[in-house]
Amino acid sequence: MVQTRLISFAGNTLTLNFEGATAARVIDLLYRHVEDGDPESSCFTYHLEENATSEWFTLQRGQELLYEGDDAGLAGEVLLSDSCYQLAALSRTGLLFHAAVLRWQGHGLILPGPSGTGKSTLTAWLVSHGFDYLSDELALVPWQTDLIKPFTRPINLKSPARAVLEGVFDFEANKANILTSPYGYFVPPQQLRFHKPQPETPLKTIIFPQYCSDSNFEYQLLSKAQAGLALMQTLINARNLPEHGFQEVTRLARQVPAYTLKYSHFDHVAEYIKDVCSSGQAVRF
């Protein structure tokens, strides 16, 4: 029996058709906290089918085959990656950043940056130290606001992150609730410190993190011009926006303090970010 879920983010809707108990579990795990969408405005249709007798999965977007194989976790990873890309590529309702989103004492924080800079691992670490988890992938700032709307998906932890996080998150005890792929783990928000995002979470702080294995703990308050340039480099829907979003990014950079953070270990990181979020000023460790 085919079931359907419509998901909406950043002004766009996708249709997810799925068959089979495991396919249903994958869809629920990946999109439980994403808003429902309007079927009349759906841009793309996905179909995730599970063959119960052979434990074989096929994933299609329209008529295009995206995945075929026996790994539910890998099928879910391909689906989530492709759906995030399609939602982002069509977005026109605000500034859409490739960024993690957290909340500290009601104040919104984004961690922008490209893949491979350790955002998800840092996000999980901060959640284990009291931050609320909202997203590790997409942050929408609606047009002419300073509010954050996160794409709340499971946090995507690559395999090496497990060694870093074993002391703060019990992977084995939560094994039944985690979706595992050959490349890592999808940990649902409800397994973390998570509160459903408020309709209006104000953006108060921007931190550009970078993990470097041989680096000292370094931070810097960016000038407004530096912050604007760094934000433009993580704006993923610029081509859809008037003036490529430059004026809106400039406005945001003038209103919200932005910092860079370079680190090689997690000592002091949570304390530093808490202080910045609470006071708007960095402290030296």
pLDDT at 285: 38
Same domain as 160, residue 32? no
Residue with tokens 């999808």: 186
From 27, 61, 89, give the residue that closes a domain: 89
CATH number of the domain residue 122 falls in: 3.40.50
| pLDDT given for residue 278 in this prediction | 83
217-259 pLDDT, tens per residue? 888 999 999 999 999 999 999 999 999 999 999 999 999 999 9
Q: Supply the pLDDT for residue 284.
A: 45
Instruction: Tell whether 85 and 104 lie within a shared domain.
Output: no
Characterize the bridge pairing of strands 64-69 and 56-61: antiparallel
pLDDT of residue 199: 65
Average pLDDT over residues 21-49: 95
67 near 74, Cβ under 8 Å? yes
The last residue of a domain, from among 89, 115, 135: 89
In a shared domain, residues 211 and 236:
yes
- Segments in the chain forming alpha helices (H): 21-31, 72-89, 119-128, 161-165, 224-234, 246-255, 269-279
Question: Can you tell me the distance from the alpha carbon of 88 to that of 109, in angstroms, rounded to the nearest whole number?
Answer: 20
Q: Find the mean pLDDT for residues 87-98.
A: 94
Inform me whether the pLDDT recorded for 70 exceeds 90.
Answer: yes
pLDDT tens digits, one per residue of 113-137: 988 778 999 999 999 999 999 999 9
CB 21 within 8 A of CB 93: no
Q: Helix 119-128 and helix 269-279: axis angle, to 10°?
A: 80
**Which one of 34, 59, 89 terminates a domain?**
89
* Residue 235 DSSP code: B
- 181 lies in the same domain as 243: yes
What is the pLDDT averaged over residues 184-189? 91
- For residue 275, give the 3-state DSSP assignment: helix
Per the structure, how many domains does the chain have? Answer: 2
d(CA 236, CA 229): 13
Task: Give yes or no for residue 280 having a pLDDT over 90.
Answer: no
Same domain, 108 and 184: yes
**Position 212 confidence tier, pLDDT thresholds 50, 70, 90:** confident
Burial class (CB in 10 A: 0-12, 13-18, 19+), 39: exposed
For 163-184, write each residue's pLDDT tens digit.
Answer: 889 888 889 888 889 999 999 9
The H-or-E segment that residue 132 falls in is: strand 132-135
Q: Please check whether residues 76 and 151 belong to one and the same domain.
A: no
Cα separation, 210 vs 195, in Å, equals 26
Same domain, 27 and 115: no
Q: Given pLDDT bands bounded at 50, 70 and 90, which one contains residue 4?
A: very high
Average pLDDT of the chain is: 91
Is the pTM of the predicted complex or chain greater than 0.85? yes
Instruction: Please say if the pLDDT value at position 283 is more than 70.
Output: no
Query: Quick one: 141 and 38 in the same domain?
Result: no
Which amino acid is located at 71 in the chain? D
- Considering the domain architecture, whether residues 23 and 43 belong to the same structural domain is answered as yes
**Per-residue confidence band for 198, with pLDDT thresholds at 50, 70 and 90:** low
Q: Could you tell me the residue range of the domain that residue 226 belongs to?
A: 94-279
Q: Is the pLDDT of residue 65 over 90?
A: yes
Residue where the block lists tokens 């410190």:
193
More confident site: 169 or 110: 110
Q: What is the mean pLDDT of residues 31-41?
A: 92
DSSP state of 280: S
The rounded distance, in Å, linking the Cα atoms of 261 and 172 is 31
Statement to judge: residues 17 and 141 lie in one domain? no
pLDDT of residue 60: 98
Q: What percent of the chain has pLDDT over 70?
A: 96
Say what the pLDDT of residue 226 is.
Answer: 97
Residues 71 and 189 in one domain: no
75 and 145 part of one domain: no
Rounded mean pLDDT of 250-273?
92
The secondary structure of residue 196, as a DSSP letter, is P
Length of the chain: 285
What is the structure's pLDDT at 194? Answer: 72
